[in-house]
Amino acid sequence: MASKLEQLRAMTVVVADTGDIDSIKALKPVDCTTNPSLLLKAAEMPAYDHLIAEAVSWGSKQGGSKEGTVAAIADRLAVSFGAELTKLVPGRVSTEVDADLSFDTQATIAKAHAIIADYKSRGIERDRILIKIASTWEGIRAAEVLQKEGIDCNLTLLFSKAQAVACGDAGVFLISPFVGRILDWHVKNEGRTFTPEEDPGVISVRGIYADYKARGIKTVVMGASFRSTGEIEALAGCDRLTIAPNLLQALDADQGTLERKLSPDNHASAPTTGKIDERAFRWAMNEDAMATEKLAEGIRGFAKDLGKLRTLIAKRVEGTAQAA
Per-residue pLDDT at 62 exceeds 70: yes
Range scoring the smallest mean pLDDT among 13-27, 70-84, 157-171: 13-27
What is the β-pairing status of strands 129-134 and 93-96?
parallel
- Cα distances from 80 to residues 34, 76, 111, 250, in angstroms, run 12, 6, 16, 29
Specify the amino acid at residue 13: V
Residue type at 295 in one-letter notation: L
- In this model, does residue 258 exceed pLDDT 70? yes
Lowest mean pLDDT across 41-45, 151-155, 309-313: 41-45
**Residue 153, phi then psi, degrees to nearest 5:** -125, 150
Average pLDDT of the residues of the chain: 93
pTM of the model: 0.92
So what's the pLDDT on residue 273? 65
pLDDT score at 216:
92
300 and 37 in contact (C-beta within 8 Å)? no
- The domain spans of the chain are 4-323
At residue 148, the pLDDT reads 98
Residue 232 has pLDDT above 60, yes or no: yes
Catalytic residue among 111, 132, 161, 213: 132
* Model pLDDT, residue 47: 85
The pLDDT tens digits for 116-142 are 999 999 999 999 999 999 999 999 999
pLDDT digits (tens, 9 = 90+) for 268-305: 555 556 789 999 999 999 999 999 999 999 999 999 99
What confidence score (pLDDT) does residue 8 get? 97
pLDDT at position 272: 58
Q: Is 132 a catalytic residue?
A: yes
Residue 324's pLDDT is what? 58
Angle at 141 between CA 111 and CA 289, to 5 degrees: 105
pLDDT band at 108 (very low <50, low <70, confident <90, very high): very high
Task: Give the pLDDT of residue 123.
Answer: 97
Residue 308 — very low, low, confident or very high, per pLDDT cuts 50/70/90?
very high
The larger pLDDT score, comparing residue 149 to residue 42, is at 149
The pLDDT assigned to 301 comes to: 95
pLDDT tens digits along 160-186? 999 999 999 999 999 999 999 999 999
Q: Looking at the predicted structure, is the pLDDT value of residue 105 above 70? A: yes
Closest C-alpha to 182, from 194, 170, 166: 194
Q: Are 285 and 292 in contact (CB under 8 A)?
A: yes
Q: What local confidence, expressed as pLDDT, does residue 36 receive? A: 84
Percentage of residues in the chain having pLDDT higher than 90: 78
Residue 249 or residue 20, greater confidence: 249
- Residue 1 confidence class, pLDDT cut points 50, 70, 90: confident
Q: What is the CATH class of 4-323?
A: alpha beta
